[in-house]
């Protein structure tokens, strides 16, 4: 199993590397032991974090309120918690 994703009592955690200010928002593969996601928004006033959570919500098909930023509010290295089982996420994000 990939090192960027782990089961958690409340769902699944994902370790991400974020590239803000990209030309488009999307998954762009792996960056070390993290999944790399590019976001179009700039890292100001929480805009990139908000866009990231909305993007993950869209990919996983769950409401934004079921996705939580656990670590890295002001860093490119982030850990999020998705209230969805690990097995379900692996089907939707097979990296």
Helix (H, G, I), strand (E, B) or coil at 58: helix
> With pLDDT > 90 as the criterion, what percentage of the chain qualifies?
88
Query: In this structure, are strands 67-71 and 34-38 parallel, antiparallel, or unpaired?
Result: unpaired
Tally of domains in the chain: 1
pTM above 0.85, yes or no: yes
Kindly report, residue by residue over 4-44, the tens digit of the pLDDT. Answer: 999 999 999 999 999 999 999 999 999 999 999 999 999 99
What is residue 2's predicted lDDT score, i.e. its pLDDT?
82
Give the residue numbers spanning the domain of 83.
5-92
Please give the C-alpha separations between residue 78 and each of 21, 24, 68, in angstroms, as whole numbers. 16, 19, 11
The CATH number covering residue 70 comes to 3.30.1200.10
The pLDDT, as a whole number, for residue 17 is: 98
Q: What is the pLDDT of residue 1?
A: 65
**Predicted confidence band of residue 95 (pLDDT cuts 50, 70, 90):** confident
Give the E-state strand segments of the chain in sequence order.
5-8, 11-19, 26-31, 34-38, 67-71, 77-82
């Amino acid at each position: 199993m990939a090192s960027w994703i782990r089961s958690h009592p409340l769902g699944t955690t994902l370790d991400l590397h974020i590239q803000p200010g990209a030309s488009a928002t999307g998954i762009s593969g792996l960056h070390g032991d993290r999944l790399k996601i590019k976001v179009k928004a700039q890292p100001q006033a929480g805009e990139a974090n908000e866009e990231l959570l909305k993007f993950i919500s869209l990919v996983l098909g769950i409401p934004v309120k079921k996705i939580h930023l656990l670590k890295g509010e002001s860093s490119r290295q982030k850990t999020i918690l998705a209230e969805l089982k690990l097995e379900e996420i692996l089907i939707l994000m097979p990296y």
